[in-house]
Amino acid sequence: MMRCSVRTILALLVFLSSGRSAFAQQPVYSLRVDYHYGSLNPWLFYEIPISRTVGWLSVFQMSSQGFAQIDFGPSFHLGKWQLIPQIGFEFSESQDKGARMSHLVYEAYALYYSGKLSFESQNLYFSETVKDQASFFYYRDFFLFRVLPKLSIGPQVEGTAASGMTTSKYLGGQISLDLGIGSMSVFMGRERKNEHSVFRMTFLKTF
């Protein structure tokens, strides 16, 4: 049974490693700006190469709603796949509590890119570090299909789940447009239980 499992894992790694060359052997910078939930969230991604298929990714996120997050972890480039496990530290600030670390975040990302199809899965568990915060799980998954040379569309689902709390699941779609200087994507989703809607606009530029 153990030999079968090892063979399966090795076969999977060989399959994932096929189909695309290793990523660039130099630091990669990306700037991302989100507008959602009435706030602006700028992100800075910085990846340095460790080997031909492994990099070290650092992410710095800020929000006009009074929180910031720092994430670190390896980035595995396996063919057309990119797998990223990370650990994050979320800091919040308010007038009555001041600044403090509010959550320890365990993260796992899976990304797939090909000529006509892309897929992304985000899975984050926010573990509370102070008593007045709550632990919860956040997920986001989407497929994008290229319908024109610079236009992709596809379905998206995202939401939260927590013990003893109201869960959410937003179903909708995403449109992504290549602007030449970067990409602009728009997501619109709706919660079926309470009929609330969510809107997000994202600009992404890689240097």
One digit per residue, the tens of pLDDT, for the chain of length 207 reads: 444 444 544 444 444 444 444 566 789 999 999 998 788 999 999 999 999 999 999 999 998 888 899 999 999 999 999 999 999 999 998 777 788 999 999 999 999 999 899 999 999 999 999 888 899 999 999 999 999 999 999 999 999 998 877 789 999 999 999 999 999 999 999 998 888 899 999 999 998
Total Cβ atoms within 10 A of residue 41: 20
- What is the model's pTM? 0.85
pLDDT at 201: 96
DSSP symbols for the chain: -HHHHHHHHHHHHHHHHSSSPPPPSS-EEEEEEEEETTEEEEEEEEEEESSSSEEEEEEEEE-TTSEEEEEEEEEEEETTEEEEEEEEEEEEEETTTEEEEEEEEEEEEEEEE-SSEEEEEEEEEEEESSTTS--EEEEEEEEEEEEETTEEEEEEEEEEE-TTS--EEEEEEEEEEE-SSSEEEEEEEEETTT--EEEEEEEEEE-
Give me the torsion for CA of 185, 191, 196, 201, rounded to 10°: -10
Q: Return d(Cα 139, Cα 122) in angstroms, integer.
A: 5
CB 159 within 8 A of CB 137: no
pLDDT at 108: 98
Q: Return d(Cα 186, Cα 177) in angstroms, integer.
A: 9
CB 12 within 8 A of CB 76: no
pLDDT at 4: 47
CB 103 within 8 A of CB 128: yes
Total Cβ atoms within 10 A of residue 190: 13
pLDDT at 9: 45
pLDDT at 7: 53
Q: Return d(Cα 138, Cα 167) in angstroms, integer.
A: 10
